[in-house]
Amino acid sequence: SLRGEPTDRTPIWVMRQAGRYLPEYQEVRSKMSFTELTHTPEAACEVTLQPIRRFGFDAAIMFSDILTPLEPMGAPFDFSKGGPKLERPLRSEAEIDSLQKYDAREGTHFVAEAIKLMKEGLGDKTPLIGFAGSPFTLATYLIEGGGSKNYENLKTMLYSRPELLTKLMDKLTDQTLDYLSMQVDAGVDAVQLFDTWGGILHPADYARVVLPCVKRIMDGLKDKGVPRIYFLKGSAPYLDLVTTLDVEALGMDWTMDMAKSLPSMEGYAVQGNLDPLALFGSEDQIRSRALDICRAGSKAPGHVFNLGHGILPPTPISAVETLVETVQGYRKGQ
């Protein structure tokens, strides 16, 4: 589907499918910190396989965090108090210069080890998706020191010291390309670049600051021979820009009308795009919305069903069962 080749049905996986909504994940997590979990190959492998065992998703996504590759650069995030926190946010040239370049095979060797275990556990039938955060989304966390509502520090740098932001983005772009290349070499079958915060910019700033870095990463992975997915949250105003990328698939969030958006996305497989909160609706609601998306997606060269963003911790297990059963039972023309 990601390559735009015909399939007998719509495949499904969901973002954050290995995670807090699963009781078996909570059990593993109760024994170790989040950072320990991402750094322990056996544990990361176990939580990656859990949703495959329970729901029979058509793909697994490796369990990790978008901030994992920043630690060896000299920017360790603390996950112990709710959201991720960076003790010293990077706001000066000296702080940005202090970020170290490293070889992903060494600095994040535990990710490669986890991928090998995941591939063994999955066998030949279920593909494994690797991922990274986009340079802009990583820069947002580094400059703000965590999540943010208004991105004041980041936007201050964008408008007052654009050359500083460019310097940071360049470093992150090189590191992200190396990190994703390492994942492909370790065995992942596809890669997704998450641009959670790319959609906070004016389209002209997105085109100048974000797009060239995404392009560099995706072009750098082309010869690796695996499908490349770009997911930009809030991508509707940027469609004319993201459709200049050489990638196999584009992720869509729930704010996009898939049927209306497809004509602007010609030639791309699409991934998405149920609102994660739709899983709190009735069984009939879930079925009806899922089928609407399957029908719309059937007009694309390829469609992989997903949520429009990560699944939420309080999501009922029964809702996920209904969703998977509905999507896997759908046949084109239904």
Q: What does 259-290 look like in DSSP terms, one character per residue?
A: HHHGGGGTT-EEEEEE-GGGGGS-HHHHHHHH
What integer pLDDT is reported at residue 82 of this predicted model? Answer: 78
Question: Which is catalytic among the residues 9, 29, 54, 208?
Answer: 29
Question: Which is catalytic among the residues 9, 54, 65, 275?
Answer: 65
Fold category of 23-329 in CATH: TIM Barrel (3.20.20)
Question: Which is catalytic among the residues 21, 25, 141, 238?
Answer: 141
Residue 298 φ then ψ, to 5°? -65, -15
Quickly tell me which residue has 């654009």 as its tokens.
162
Is 295 annotated in the active site?
no
Question: Which is catalytic among the residues 20, 54, 105, 208?
Answer: 20
What integer pLDDT is reported at residue 295 of this predicted model? Answer: 97
Instruction: Render each residue's pLDDT in the chain as its tens digit; 334 residues.
Output: 999 998 999 999 999 999 999 999 999 999 999 999 999 999 999 999 999 999 999 999 999 999 999 999 999 999 988 789 999 999 999 999 999 999 999 999 999 999 999 999 999 999 999 999 999 999 999 999 999 999 999 999 999 999 999 999 999 999 999 999 999 999 999 999 999 999 999 999 999 999 999 999 999 999 999 999 999 999 999 999 999 999 999 999 999 999 999 999 999 999 999 999 999 999 999 999 999 999 999 999 999 999 999 999 999 999 999 999 999 999 987 8
Its pTM stands at 0.97
Is 238 annotated in the active site?
no
Tokens encoding 193:
């670049």
Is 29 annotated in the active site?
yes
β-bridge pairing 85-86 and 77-78: antiparallel
What integer pLDDT is reported at residue 235 of this predicted model? Answer: 95
Burial classification of residue 153, based on how many CB atoms lie within 10 Å of its CB (0-12 exposed, 13-18 middle, 19 or more buried): middle
